[in-house]
Amino acid sequence: MVQTIIVVGGQWGDEGKGKIVDFLAERADLVIRYAGGNNAGHTVVVNGKKFKFHLIPSGIVHEGKLNIIANGTVVDPEVLVEEIENLEKMGFKIDDSRLIISSNAHTILPKHREEDNPKKDPHAKMIGTTGRGIGPCYRDKIARKGMRISDYVESSNSKIAEKMKPLVKDTCFIINEAIEKGKKVLFEGAQGTLLDVDHGTYPFVTSSNPTAGGALTGTGVGPTKIDAVIGVFKAYTTRVGAGPFPTELGTEEQTNKEGTWDKIENVYDEALKEALEKANAGDEYYQGKYMRLKGKEYGTTTGRPRRTGWFDAVAARYAVVINGMSSIAITKLDVLQGLKKIKICVAYEVDGKRTTNFILNTKKLARAKPIYEEMPGWDEDIGDAKSFEDLPRNAQNYLKRLEDLCKTRISIISVGPRRDQTIVVDDNNLF
């Protein structure tokens, strides 16, 4: 029986982990956020209501679940209390039976935000930081001059600190005791494998370890206590900010010129129609733009448009290996609806040589040319599909090919944003 599950992003973040965590959280007893800060964003749709979280685990919308912000995270007290108060306004009671913050998590201070300003710091702008103080906070943690949350709530007399104080506890004991008692524990990742500070496309990465190993150091749980690792992948690929992206359709400059979501909303329908027509006429930029519009690929935290591209099976297989993924979840399959042809990157060509291994040298990766397989798409609306067999034959074939290339089983398929638009294909690695 599966008791502990790590959910990890398999790409450059934004894979739809929030929805998968929300789906699994119904059967979990504890939901734990183990890395990152409010540079991450999860969007969950429950009973038609949209919830956006940056720090609090997305299991908070479920009754009877204990949600933990663990020691591997960095916490901006102002952002956290704002999220808590927003939930309270919506009728949620937030106390230590529902939300706990690790005493050992580190505090994002105003100086960290000031330092992490892309408008003032050329390096921050170059790597595409969100400017929320995450990197400087982790740097101070490693330099052993940071402030833990326990120290923050003890030393500050602010209303924010007072609001947080009852929720601050030594979480490693709580988590391990829950596992010993047979509770179901879900570890929620932020960002994605290719943004990992050790294993990602450095320096265009985050400042923490969003990979499965980060769930262990980020919570104080040993590796022998983990039963399953589920990797979440979109049916295509996206990336926010700078850095190499082999399957990108169009250019980063073209994407950024489109503007943030607030500028797109009013012309959405016309833009989507134009993008699909030009995409099916063979225009690569518009193929990417169609996926961006159809998937509403704009950052939860920043509103920035995400760069889009075809599914990169080379990068996906790398993510499967270094996380030890037991199975994978494919999200946003519905976004590909309407495209006459769909491509999958099966290898790279770099400096005239073909490779099926992901390239760890970022400069070489920037020169990588994707080698594609092409498959026929589908026009059918799959939003009401309840089983794998309900999907169009071409969608089934596409998913089977992803399994072959990633060398692991698909356990979950998402065919829309709602919780009920989720198909369980294989429940061997689920609660």
Report the share of the chain in percent with pLDDT over 90: 86
Q: Does residue 110 fall inside a structural domain?
A: yes
Q: Of 262, 293, 309, which closes a domain?
A: 309
Q: Chain-wide mean pLDDT for the chain?
A: 94
Q: Per this entry, what is the length of the chain?
A: 431
Domain count, the chain: 2
Residues 90 and 42 placed together within one structural domain of the fold: yes
> Residue 370 — very low, low, confident or very high, per pLDDT cuts 50/70/90?
very high
Going by the DSSP 8-state scheme, the letter that residue 223 receives in this structure is: G
Comparing C-alpha atoms, which of 397, 208, 213, 395 is closest to residue 319? 213
At 191-224, the pLDDT tens digits run 999 999 999 999 999 999 999 999 999 999 999 9
At 33-46, the pLDDT tens digits run 999 999 877 677 77
HSE-up of residue 309 (Cα within 13 Å, Cβ side): 25
Q: CB burial class (10 A; 0-12, 13-18, 19+) of residue 132?
A: buried
Pairwise CA distance, residues 258 & 292, whole Å: 11
Residue showing tokens 């692991």: 408
Contact residues for 120 (Cβ-Cβ < 8 A; gap 6+): none
Q: Of 171, 198, 232, which closes a domain?
A: 232
Residues 36 and 91 placed together within one structural domain of the fold: yes
Q: Does residue 379 fall inside a structural domain?
A: no
Pairwise CA distance, residues 20 & 39, whole Å: 19
Residues 190 and 60 placed together within one structural domain of the fold: yes
CA angle 223, 226, 227 (to 5 degrees): 140
> Residue 230 — very low, low, confident or very high, per pLDDT cuts 50/70/90?
very high
Give the Å distances, CA to CA, from 408 to 7, 238, 318, 325. Answer: 15, 21, 12, 8
Pairwise CA distance, residues 204 & 18, whole Å: 23
Residues 198 and 51 placed together within one structural domain of the fold: yes
Residues 190 and 145 placed together within one structural domain of the fold: yes
Residues 275 and 204 placed together within one structural domain of the fold: no
Q: Does residue 242 fall inside a structural domain?
A: no
At 308-317, the pLDDT tens digits run 999 999 999 9
Domain of 121?
Answer: 4-232
Residues 226 and 271 placed together within one structural domain of the fold: no
Which pLDDT value is given to residue 119? 75
Q: Does residue 160 fall inside a structural domain?
A: yes
Task: For residue 48, give the 3-state DSSP assignment.
Answer: coil
Q: What are phi and psi of 329, to 5 degrees?
A: -115, 135
Could you list the active site residues? Answer: 14, 42
Q: Does residue 349 fall inside a structural domain?
A: no
CATH of the domain at 38: 3.40.440.10
Residues 204 and 297 placed together within one structural domain of the fold: no
Which pLDDT value is given to residue 47? 72
End-to-end CA distance of the chain: 8
Residues 148 and 291 placed together within one structural domain of the fold: no
Residues 153 and 82 placed together within one structural domain of the fold: yes
Q: Which two tokens stand for residue 246?
A: 């082999």
Q: Does residue 316 fall inside a structural domain?
A: no
Pairwise CA distance, residues 287 & 336, whole Å: 10
Residues 203 and 302 placed together within one structural domain of the fold: no
Run of H or E residues at 274: helix 268-280
Residues 72 and 215 placed together within one structural domain of the fold: yes
Q: Does residue 294 fall inside a structural domain?
A: yes
Q: Does residue 75 fall inside a structural domain?
A: yes
Pairwise CA distance, residues 375 & 401, whole Å: 10
